[in-house]
């Protein structure tokens, strides 16, 4: 008990030391050089959440997926005006502020409204658009839900961490707010009757209503602050960068380019015709590839590290054993979701490294797997009868030789099936890395939700795909297990 307590204290101390390491003053200074950094890199990284047609969404051009929308056009213009290459970083709306603060992206162009709370974290450009706030409902409810008073005490859906969340809270009496991460999820809630209405911005509502004939505007609903502006968010204290942004926005306004951007967004939304599978199969194929890739890397490297950790845990030296236990317990005792975010934001915020989401996702999975696999391997080794070690040692083999030639070959038979199960688990769990924008099956299903305005079918397809992968894998495992029994 004492050991555990000591270990726990040590963990907390190490954690505090790491947190202290992020020096806030150094960070503020470096943000002054924001613009220089972008110039030097030659690439402008724009963060957005592509679930927001006509602002930003993904669509299919000859089997290839491309970003389109008003914000994308604006991002292209800012990049072009400054001779920069453009890199779009697509993630959840509620992760964007974190991403800009940790330096994952240089700008947010994501239909974002400047608010006092957000202004504490970032600076905003001059606005480039103004939009109406709307309420949408099911057509079948149109007779009952007319004015804002009709929504009192009702469940209202909104996208998480958006202005719409605030509006619903302040304007609707005793509203029960249901916040979901992505717009298509809220739409699905509405369609399935889980919420009575959704607060949403006008242009986005129109895009979704076009594809979902069972939904309509609650026209009688008026909000106190019915119009909101939209601007680009940039890191604080970056005057030069802000100057460049405002120059581009001024030109957009002078030449009324927003109208052109709207037209091309409408065009991109239209082009997506053909049946569901011909349009979106490329998304799912890409997703399958990445899911398989990250799962294999997770299990293979996880096995390598897991084996090392298992051996450390079986070591005679107490400190080693203790370190291995702490590692395993920490990783098994914290959610993978948290670990994924820690790796993704931690690598930039603490280590100053610019690592892609895919690699971060893999690192998180490898680390997580290594803890589980370490236990599998340890259990496998322990399951080999003690007498085997005694016999080998009495024949004069060293500890290492005993392990290599006597224990491990026998342990492997016990370890392999469990490792196979771990692989199945990893395939499913890997869906969690979708939160940082790794385009595996789940992430691409969400992209298709946004692109097709159909919140349900893509989820169904994702479920079937995961099932095919895990089912095939477990069949293959049974086959090998059978073979191994025969060899006994």
Nearer to ligand ARG, 175 or 426 (CB): 175
Rounded to a whole number of angstroms, the minimum distance from the CB of residue 118 to ligand ARG is: 8
Among 60, 90, 163, 303, binds ligand ARG (CB under 6 A): 163
Give the x/- contact pattern for ligand ARG in 35-64, rule: CB under 6 A: -------------xx-xx--xx--------
Rounded to a whole number of angstroms, the minimum distance from the CB of residue 431 to ligand ARG is: 21
Rounded to a whole number of angstroms, the minimum distance from the CB of residue 131 to ligand ARG is: 7
Rounded to a whole number of angstroms, the minimum distance from the CB of residue 177 to ligand ARG is: 14
- In the 3-class helix/strand/coil scheme, how is the chain assigned residue by residue? CHHHHHHHHHHHHHHHHHHHHCCHHHHHHHHHCHHHHHHHHCEEEEEECCCECCCEEEEEECCEEEEECHHHHHHHHHHHHCCCEEEEEECCHHHHHHHHHCCCCCEECCCCCCCHHHHHHCEECCCCEEEEEEEEEEHHHCCCCCCHHHHCCCEEEEECCCHHHHHHHHHCCCCEEEEECCHHHHHHHHHCCCCCEEEEEHHHHHHHHHHCCCEEECCCCCCCCCEEEECCEECCCCHHHHHHHHHHHHHHHHCCHHHHHHHHHHHHHHHCCCCHHHHHHHHHHHHHHHHHHHHHHHHHHHHHHHHHHHHHHCCCCHHHHHHHHHHHHHHHCCCHHHHHHHHHHHHHHCCCCCCCHHHHHHHHHHHHHHHHHHHHHHHHHHHCCHHHHHHHHHCCCCHHHHHHHHHHHHHHHHHHHHHHHHHHHHHHHHHHHHHHCCCCHHHHHHHHHHHHCCCCHHHHHHHHHHHHHHHHHHHHHHHHHHHHHHHC
**68 near ligand ARG, rule: CB under 6 A:** no
Nearer to ligand ARG, 161 or 402 (CB): 161
Rounded to a whole number of angstroms, the minimum distance from the CB of residue 473 to ligand ARG is: 35
Nearer to ligand ARG, 35 or 67 (CB): 67
Nearer to ligand ARG, 52 or 208 (CB): 52
Touching ligand ARG, residues 92-151 (CB under 6 A) = 93, 110-113
Size of the site for ligand ARG (CB under 6 A): 16
Stretch that binds ligand ARG, among 75-83, 97-105, 157-165, 437-445 (CB under 6 A): 157-165
Give the x/- contact pattern for ligand ARG in 194-233, rule: CB under 6 A: -------x--------------------------------
Rounded to a whole number of angstroms, the minimum distance from the CB of residue 348 to ligand ARG is: 22
Nearer to ligand ARG, 111 or 306 (CB): 111
Rounded to a whole number of angstroms, the minimum distance from the CB of residue 120 to ligand ARG is: 15
Residues in the site for ligand ARG, rule: CB under 6 A?
48-49, 51-52, 55-56, 93, 110-113, 159, 162-163, 183, 201
């Amino acid at each position: 008990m004492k050991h555990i307590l000591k270990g726990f204290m040590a963990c907390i101390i190490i954690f505090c030391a790491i947190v202290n390491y992020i020096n806030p003053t150094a960070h503020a200074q470096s943000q002054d050089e924001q613009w220089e950094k972008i110039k030097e890199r030659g690439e402008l990284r724009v963060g957005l959440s592509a679930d927001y047609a006509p602002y930003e969404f993904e669509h299919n051009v000859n089997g290839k997926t491309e970003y389109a929308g008003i914000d994308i056009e604006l991002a292209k213009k800012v990049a072009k005006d400054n001779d920069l290459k453009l890199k779009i970083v697509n993630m959840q709306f509620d992760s964007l502020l974190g991403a800009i603060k940790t330096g994952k992206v240089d700008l947010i162009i994501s239909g974002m409204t400047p608010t006092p709370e957000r202004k504490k974290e970032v600076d905003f450009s001059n606005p480039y658009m103004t939009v109406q706030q709307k309420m949408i409902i099911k057509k079948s409810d149109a007779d009952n839900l007319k004015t804002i008073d009709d929504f009192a005490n009702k469940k209202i859906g909104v996208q998480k961490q958006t202005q719409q969340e605030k509006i619903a809270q302040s304007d609707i009496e005793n509203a029960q707010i249901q916040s979901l991460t992505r717009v298509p999820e809220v739409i699905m809630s509405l369609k399935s009757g889980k919420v009575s209405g959704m607060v949403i911005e006008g242009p986005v509502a129109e895009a979704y209503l076009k594809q979902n004939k069972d939904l309509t505007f609650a026209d009688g609903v008026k909000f106190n602050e019915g119009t909101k502006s939209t601007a680009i968010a940039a890191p604080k204290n970056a005057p030069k960068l802000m100057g460049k942004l405002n120059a581009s926005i001024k030109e957009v306004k002078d030449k009324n380019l927003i109208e052109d951007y709207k037209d091309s967004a409408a065009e991109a939304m239209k082009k997506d015709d053909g049946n569901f599978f011909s349009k979106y199969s490329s998304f799912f194929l890409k997703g399958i590839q990445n899911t398989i890739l990250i799962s294999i890397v997770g299990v293979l490297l996880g096995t390598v590290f897991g084996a090392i950790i298992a051996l450390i845990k079986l070591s005679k030296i107490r400190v080693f054993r203790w370190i291995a236990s702490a590692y395993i317990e920490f990783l098994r005792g914290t959610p993978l979701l948290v670990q994924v975010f820690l790796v993704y934001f931690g690598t930039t915020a603490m280590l100053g490294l610019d690592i892609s989401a895919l690699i971060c996702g893999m690192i998180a999975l490898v680390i997580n797997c290594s803890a589980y696999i370490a236990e599998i391997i340890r259990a496998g080794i322990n399951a080999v009868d003690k007498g085997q070690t005694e016999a080998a040692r009495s024949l004069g083999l060293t500890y290492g030789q005993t392990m290599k030639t006597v224990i491990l070959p026998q342990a492997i038979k016990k370890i392999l099936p469990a490792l196979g199960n771990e692989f199945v688990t990893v395939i499913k769990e890997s869906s969690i890395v979708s939160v940082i924008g790794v385009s595996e099956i789940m992430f691409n299903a969400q992209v298709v939700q946004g692109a097709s305005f159909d919140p349900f079918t893509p989820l169904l397809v994702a479920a079937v795909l995961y099932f095919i992968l895990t089912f095939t894998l477990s069949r293959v495992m049974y086959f090998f297990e059978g073979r191994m029994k025969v060899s006994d």
